[in-house]
């Protein structure tokens, strides 16, 4: 009996070691982004501007809409109070319309719930869920998770009617890891007491940043007099300012991004958690999470091998001259061939 227990413990340790080490070795092969605004009502205009600012940046840097899940709890672009319909600006000078003309919202209005968010991350969606509403990640996926809204010590409110706790968030990420749904995750949250949302994380390969520490408020940046409300939060404003100067050939690192909003401009203290992340953020390109840059081998010459095709007693040898296309004889109709 004791021998069987020892064998069981050895096997359990081997499986646990494999689950903690084998996934990262597969390498980073693709990028996904989950961008969530959890607030409703016109006075929360800035939260919609926050999430659309990040959406615009990751899309500009190469992550396609098919790999971006955008959740917006309210439609500010079509709100009757909006003096500029079909637009959402993140600056009072109206430099950038972050709503644009090609935004694809995957979850909107009352679809933005804690249940749908957790189901999305863990892959526990009902049968028949459209592909556009699924997070189809794998063990090679780098996932950016961005959350903005109203929060407190250990929770983030959804729609002013429910909340997700820091423990629920941690457990959802652990399910993702166990199901091989990510390679590395960058968790980014802009809300009051944001750091409390990542304190309970225990899964590997997660880098987390929050706009404020426990006990601190995350503040807005400025008001747009034309609409009468704050238009963007401070942390996302400076994050966007950094990302606007990033292109696909950039050498800027995630470590630089983590320093975009010092206390002198953010007023709140930006929190960072790096102990679960295996790499040095200063050596990680920012496009590993905010872009979609893949190594590509360019072939300037393509050689076409000559083909020999037997058709009955005929032998056709195409020309060996290099050309763009090679002709292939049609397949013989076996019904007309006498045996």
Q: Report the candidate in 75, 196, 208 with the shortest Cα–Cα distance to residue 146.
A: 208
Is-contact 287 246, C-beta < 8 A?
yes
Q: Report the candidate in 70, 79, 84 with the shortest Cα–Cα distance to residue 37.
A: 70
169-to-225, 262, 288 alpha-carbon distances in Å: 37, 26, 23
Is-contact 236 50, C-beta < 8 A?
yes
Residue 77 makes CB contacts below 8 A (sequence gap 6+) with 85, 86, 87, 88, 99
- Whole-number Å distance between alpha carbons of 85 and 78: 6
- Whole-number Å distance between alpha carbons of 199 and 242: 26
- β 220-224/206-210 pair status: unpaired
Residue 266 is a catalytic residue: no
Q: Which residues of 9-40 are buried (b: 16+ CB within 10 A; e: fewer)?
A: eeeeeeeeeeeeeebbeeeeebbbbbbbbbbb
Furthest C-alpha separation in the chain:
89
Q: Measured at the alpha carbon of residue 117, what is the angle toward residues 116 and 123, in degrees to the nearest 5? A: 80
Q: Which of 192, 221, 261, 266 is catalytic?
A: 192
Residue 197 makes CB contacts below 8 A (sequence gap 6+) with 147, 151, 154, 155, 156, 166, 169, 189, 191, 210
Catalytic center residues: 150, 192
């Amino acid at each position: 009996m004791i021998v069987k227990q020892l064998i069981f413990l050895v096997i359990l340790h081997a499986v646990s070691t494999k689950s903690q080490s084998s996934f990262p070795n597969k390498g980073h092969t693709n990028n996904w982004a989950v961008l969530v605004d959890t607030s409703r009502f016109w006075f929360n205009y800035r939260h919609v501007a926050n999430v659309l600012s990040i959406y615009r940046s990751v899309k500009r840097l190469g992550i396609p809409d098919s790999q971006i899940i955008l959740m917006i709890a309210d439609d500010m672009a079509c709100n009757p109070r909006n003096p500029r319909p079909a637009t959402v600006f993140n600056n009072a000078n109206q430099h950038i319309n972050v709503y644009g003309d090609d935004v694809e919202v995957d979850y909107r209005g009352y679809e933005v719930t804690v249940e749908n968010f957790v189901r999305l991350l863990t892959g526990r969606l009902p049968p028949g869920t459209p592909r556009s509403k699924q997070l189809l990640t794998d063990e090679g996926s780098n996932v950016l998770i961005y959350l903005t809204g109203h929060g407190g010590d250990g929770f983030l409110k959804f729609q002013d009617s429910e909340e997700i706790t820091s423990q629920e968030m941690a457990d959802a990420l652990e399910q993702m890891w166990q199901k091989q749904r990510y390679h590395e995750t960058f968790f980014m949250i802009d809300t009051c007491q944001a750091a409390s949302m990542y304190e309970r994380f225990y899964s590997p390969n997660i880098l987390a940043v929050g706009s404020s520490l426990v006990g601190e408020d995350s503040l807005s940046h400025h008001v747009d007099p034309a609409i009468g409300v704050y238009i963007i939060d401070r942390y996302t404003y400076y994050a966007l300012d950094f990302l606007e100067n990033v292109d696909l050939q950039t050498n800027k690192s995630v470590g630089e991004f983590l320093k975009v909003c010092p206390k002198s401009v953010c007023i709140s203290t930006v929190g960072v958690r790096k102990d679960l992340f295996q790499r040095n953020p200063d050596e990680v390109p920012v496009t590993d999470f905010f872009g979609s840059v893949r190594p590509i081998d360019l072939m300037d010459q393509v050689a076409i091998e000559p083909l020999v095709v037997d058709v009955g007693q005929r032998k056709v040898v195409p020309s060996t001259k290099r050309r763009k296309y090679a002709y292939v004889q049609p397949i013989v109709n076996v019904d007309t061939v006498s045996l």
